[in-house]
Structure formats: C-alpha cells, structure tokens
C-alpha cells in the first residue's frame, strides 16, 4: 500500500535537493510529477486538482525560512497538505455520555465488517471498555457464526439470534446463554434493539452492530441499514471500505453517505497492494474522517488512523510514533533490561533470545515493524524478503531444545542436534546454522557493547 506513491513522491521531491533557490519552473515541474504520482495511485481527479493547487500556491509564496532550505520547505508543504487531505487531526470515537455507546458498521459484502467487529471489540477491551458485539448480518450465510468466532477470539461476547430460527419462527434458546426473546432471527432491526437492551441490562458500555452488506449498492441494502440506524440511533456509524477497490471506494462511499449516512470511515485491507487512492479520496469526497485502518486478517492488524503519521509514512519519513506505541504495549522493560545486561556480559542464552523474539513478534509481522522506520521505502525489496515463517522455524527449533540446552547451548552436540531437528521438523543443518549463528551473534554483541564502553570488556579496554 502506498509503496509506488511513496516512491514517486520521494523521487519528485529528491530532485529539488541541493537547489539554493527554487524557481517557479522548478515548482511547476515538481507539482506536475506529484500530480502524476497521485493520479497513478488512483486518487480521484478533483482531489488531485485541489491538492496540487494548494501546493503550488503555498510553495511559490513561501517565505524563505532560516531553518529549512527550499527543498525542505516544499517537503514540509507537501506533508502538511497530505495530512490535510487525510483528515487533519486524528478523529477519536465519540463515546456516549450515557452508556452504552452504539457503533454501527455498514458497507458492502466482503468489505471486512465482521472481521472489523472483532478487531474493534478487541481494541475497545484494551481501552478498558466492556463491548458487546451484535450480529445483525442475517443475510450472508455463516455471518453470525463468523462473528461468534471473531468474538471468541477477541474474548468479547456476541449477541446473536439462535441459528436455525427463521423469519417468524419460534426462538429457540440461544447458545452461550443468549435468549433474544421475541426476536425473529430474520429481523435485523429487532435483533439490534434486543442487543442494545441486553447491553443495558448487563452493563456493557459499547455495542458494536454488524450489519449485512451486498455485493453492490442496492435499495434493499440501503433501506435495511437505514432502518437499523433509525431504530438504534447510533453514536457512530462506521462505513467500512476495502481499500483494494480503488476508485469504486469513492462512489460506494458517496452512495452510502446519501442512503444511510455515516460519521466515520474504516479502511480495510491496507496490507494489499492497493495504490492508496481510496485513502486519499474518501475523506475529501465525503467530508467524513477516516477513523481506523485495518491491515490484515489478524485481530491486532488494526489501528486508529492518524493522518499525520500516514502522511509521514507516505513521504518515507517513517512512523516512529506508532512503532513506539506498539513497543510500549508489548514491551516488558524489566525483561529487556535483563537481556541487555546479559548481552554485555556475553551471557545471553537461547532462552533469553526466544523471549526477546516473542516480545518483538507480538508487535505484528516483522516486515510491518521494520516498514515503520524512516527510510523503509528504500529497503522495500529487503523487507519483502522478511519471512515470518522463517522466524517460526527458529522458534520451533529453540522450543525443541531442553531447558538445559537453551541455558547452555555449548552442550548441544551432534546427537542432541539430530534429536532437536527431528523433534522440531527441520534439518540438522538448520539446527547447526541457528546454533552457530547464535554463538557468533553473542560474541559480536558482547564485543560491540564492550567497545561502546558499556560492558566489562569496555572497562578493561579503558
């Protein structure tokens, strides 16, 4: 996502570097390149026009600032305009003064609503809320049980009509203790209402309503979503849109805006190879902010959308703030300090190594983590090679070792290597490689920390 846009934009801006003064022609040429980059990324034409006009006007009128050279000034302007296009300030969820807060999800079938319900539930729980997910997608076969599965994964309860009750059919007692009395499983409005009543009775403070989508826009879909909105009066209606559908995202958003109305946008599938135009157009065209972004199928592939951080990533300036936040969530400071002390002493064990690796991996796929570093755009090819499966194998090998072997890898002789390889389903040469590299790395890290004056070696050298 955004890779080629990012390449093109940084390329266009790089040409300005080293120029003491920018002529109008320089600015026009750069603006032309930025325009092409945006169009290629599938950003809608009116949005591109507005963006370019803003940049030209500001760049030509820019005062020469003492701190920035002209090229940096243009980068600063492009960055600010990108932030503006992406929505300016980060838009947070508006929680109701009197709980429960009601969040309704709407969008086309396959946009990722049900998956999002689980992610949102998980996120809300992390923020200290007690969410309840309500299954009102009663059309897509399997949608209710899919919501139950994501709810279970997130550890968030799901309110759903019992499977098997038809329109007007009698209601059987639901599993998990849910008994939506008097609710026909074919009536999403009634299920939504019953879900909210349940939340009030059981003191859940947020209700997330999953609704049905269709493959395309149609009247029936709009009417049903509008009926649910009318009946539940949600605090937030989130329009969920697949970033991969490109320009169609804009027209779908416009139709939903007219038919149902929404307060915010959630972009999904940002992990795909979409060109990013949807992200850059939807907010501008509908006037509604992007509130969340989803970038994978796992619960944790989800975050609040920060326009400034996204702009910074697009311009190859990295997203160190998000990286720090993720690290803070998953980092165990004491464990990290203990490991650092052992590194300087040259005493790191494979057990420590495994713990550190697990801690880092909790932050998400390694490629994503590294991708947040400044300059990651230039390492794209290397990042694409990073394979989490290889890390899985390393983990499996270490797990196949006995505690004594992990504490003291020196005892891992040939017969132990064979046993470990067989136990963890890899070849002996993979075990050899891991053990050898571990020793090399341990030696190198101890030397480096010594040279930098941190460890005992440093003190000896001093």
Please check whether residue 112 is in contact with residue 240, taking contact to mean a CB–CB distance below 8 angstroms. yes
Among the residues of 400-455, which ranges form H helices?
403-407, 414-424, 428-451
Is-contact 331 23, C-beta < 8 A? no
249-268 residues near ligand GDP, rule: CB under 6 A: 268
Do residues 305 and 268 touch, judged by C-beta distance below 8 A? no
Contact flags string 97-116 toward ligand GDP, x per CB under 6 A: ----------x-xxxxxxx-
Retrieve residue 326's tokens. 């993720």
Residue 124, SS3 per DSSP? helix
Tell me: is residue 434 an annotated ligand-binding position.
Answer: no
Ranges within 156-215 binding ligand GDP (CB under 6 A) = 213
In the complex with ligand GDP, the residue whose CB is nearer, 279 or 401, is 279
CA 256 to chain CA mean position, Å:
24
Distances (CA, A) of 10 to 18, 222, 317: 15, 41, 10
Comparing CB distances to ligand GDP, the nearer of 22 and 147 is: 147
In the complex with ligand GDP, which residue's Cβ is closer, 135 or 376?
135
Count, residues near ligand GDP per rule CB under 6 A: 18
Asked if residue 210 lies in contact with residue 145, where contact means CB atoms within 8 angstroms, the answer is: no
186 is in an annotated binding site: no
Q: Are 275 and 39 in contact (CB under 8 A)?
A: no
Residue 332: count other Cβ atoms within 10 Å of its Cβ. Answer: 13
In the complex, the smallest distance separating the C-beta of residue 279 from ligand GDP, rounded to whole angstroms, is 13
To the nearest whole angstrom, how small is the minimum distance from the Cβ of residue 272 to ligand GDP? 6
* Helix, strand, coil % in the chain, rounded to nearest 5: 60, 10, 35
Residue with tokens 């499966």: 389
Interface positions, 268-307, toward ligand GDP (CB under 6 A): 268-269, 271-272, 294-297, 301
Shortest Cβ distance from residue 10 to ligand GDP (Å)? 25
- Closest to ligand GDP by CB, 48 or 135: 135
Q: Is 112 annotated as a binding residue?
A: yes
Pick the closer one to ligand GDP by CB: 295 or 312. Answer: 295
Residue 1 C-beta: closest distance to ligand GDP, Å: 10
Between 1 and 78, CB nearer to ligand GDP: 1
**114 annotated among ligand-binding-site residues:** yes
Residue 107 labeled ligand binder: yes
Residue 211 annotated as binding? Answer: yes
- 108 labelled as ligand-binding? yes
| Residue 270 marked as a ligand binder | yes
Query: For residues 112 and 409, which CB has a smaller minimum distance to ligand GDP in the complex?
Result: 112
What's the closest the beta carbon of residue 105 comes to ligand GDP, in angstroms? Answer: 8
What character string, x for contact with ligand GDP (CB under 6 A) and - otherwise, covers 110-149?
xxxxxx----------------------------------
Decide whether 114 or 326 has the Cβ nearer to ligand GDP: 114
Going by DSSP bridges, is the β-strand pair 290-294/302-304 parallel, antiparallel, or unpaired? antiparallel
Q: How many CA atoms lie within 13 A of 381 on its CB side?
A: 0
SS3 of residue 113 by DSSP: helix
Question: Cβ closer to ligand GDP: 198 or 301?
Answer: 301
The answer to whether 113 is a known ligand-binding residue is yes
In whole angstroms, the minimum distance from the beta carbon of 137 to ligand GDP comes to 6
* CA 173 to chain CA centroid, nearest Å: 37
Q: Which of residues 312-351 bind ligand GDP (CB under 6 A)?
A: none
* 32 known ligand binder: no
CB of 159 to ligand GDP, least distance (A): 16
- CB of 144 vs ligand GDP, minimal distance in Å: 11
Report the site for ligand GDP in 204-233 (rule: CB under 6 A): 213
Q: Is 269 annotated as a binding residue?
A: yes
What is d(CA 242, CA 247) in angstroms, rounded to the nearest whole number? 11
- Please state whether the peptide bond connecting residue 100 to the residue before it is cis, i.e. omega within 30 degrees of 0: yes
What lies within 8 Å, CB to CB, of 324 at 6+ separation is none
Distance between CA 289 and CA 452 in Å, rounded? Answer: 47
Q: How far is CA 21 from CA 56, 81, 260, 361, in A?
A: 15, 21, 51, 46
Q: What is the Cα 444 distance to its own chain's centre?
A: 35
Q: Detail the residues annotated as belonging to a binding site.
A: 107-114, 210-214, 268-271
Chain positions contacting ligand GDP, by CB under 6 A:
107, 109-115, 213, 268-269, 271-272, 294-297, 301
Q: Detail the residues annotated as belonging to a binding site for GTP.
A: 107-114, 210-214, 268-271
């Amino acid at each position: 996502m955004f890779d080629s846009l990012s390449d093109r934009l940084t390329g266009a801006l790089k040409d300005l570097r080293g120029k003491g003064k920018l002529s109008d022609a320089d600015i026009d040429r750069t603006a032309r390149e930025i325009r092409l980059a945006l169009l290629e990324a599938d950003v809608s034409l009116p949005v591109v026009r507005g963006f370019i006009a803003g940049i030209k006007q500001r760049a030509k009128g820019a005062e020469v600032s003492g701190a920035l050279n002209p090229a940096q000034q243009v980068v600063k302007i492009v960055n600010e305009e990108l932030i503006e296009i992406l929505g300016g300030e980060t838009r947070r969820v508006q929680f109701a003064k009197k709980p429960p807060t009601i969040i309704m999800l709407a969008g086309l079938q396959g946009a990722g609503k049900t998956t999002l319900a689980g992610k949102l539930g998980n996120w809300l729980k992390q923020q200290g809320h007690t969410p309840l997910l309500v299954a009102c997608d009663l059309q897509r076969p399997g949608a209710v049980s899919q919501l139950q599965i994501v709810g279970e994964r997130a550890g968030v309860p799901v309110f759903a009509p019992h499977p098997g009750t038809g329109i007007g059919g009698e209601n059987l007692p639901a599993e998990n203790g849910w008994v939506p009395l008097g609710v026909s499983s074919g009536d999403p409005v009634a299920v939504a209402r019953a879900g909210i009543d349940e939340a009030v009775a059981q003191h859940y403070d947020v209700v997330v309503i999953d609704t049905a989508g269709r493959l395309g826009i149609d009247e029936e879909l709009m009417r049903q979503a509008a009926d649910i909105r009318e009946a539940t009066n949600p605090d937030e209606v989130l329009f969920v849109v697949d970033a991969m559908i490109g320009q169609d995202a804009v027209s779908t958003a416009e139709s939903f805006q007219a038919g149902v109305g929404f307060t915010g946008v959630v972009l999904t599938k940002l992990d795909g190879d979409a060109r990013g135009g949807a992200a850059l157009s939807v907010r501008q065209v509908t006037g509604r902010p992007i509130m969340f972004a989803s970038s994978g199928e796992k619960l944790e592939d989800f975050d609040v959308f920060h326009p400034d951080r996204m702009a910074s990533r697009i311009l190859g300036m990295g997203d160190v703030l998000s990286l720090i936040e993720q690290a803070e969530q998953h980092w165990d400071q004491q464990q990290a300090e203990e490991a650092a002390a052992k590194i300087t002493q040259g005493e790191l064990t494979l057990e420590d190594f495994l713990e550190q690796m697990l801690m880092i991996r909790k932050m998400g796929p390694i490629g994503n983590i590294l991708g947040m570093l400044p300059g990651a755009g230039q390492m794209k090819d290397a990042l694409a090679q990073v394979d989490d499966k290889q890390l899985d194998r390393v983990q499996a090998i270490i797990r196949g070792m006995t505690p004594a072997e992990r504490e003291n890898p020196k005892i891992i002789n040939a017969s132990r290597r064979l046993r470990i390889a067989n136990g963890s389903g890899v070849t002996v040469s993979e075990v050899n490689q891991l053990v050898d590299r571990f020793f090399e790395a341990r030696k190198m890290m101890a030397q480096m920390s010594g040279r930098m004056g941190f460890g005992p070696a440093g003190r000896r050298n001093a």
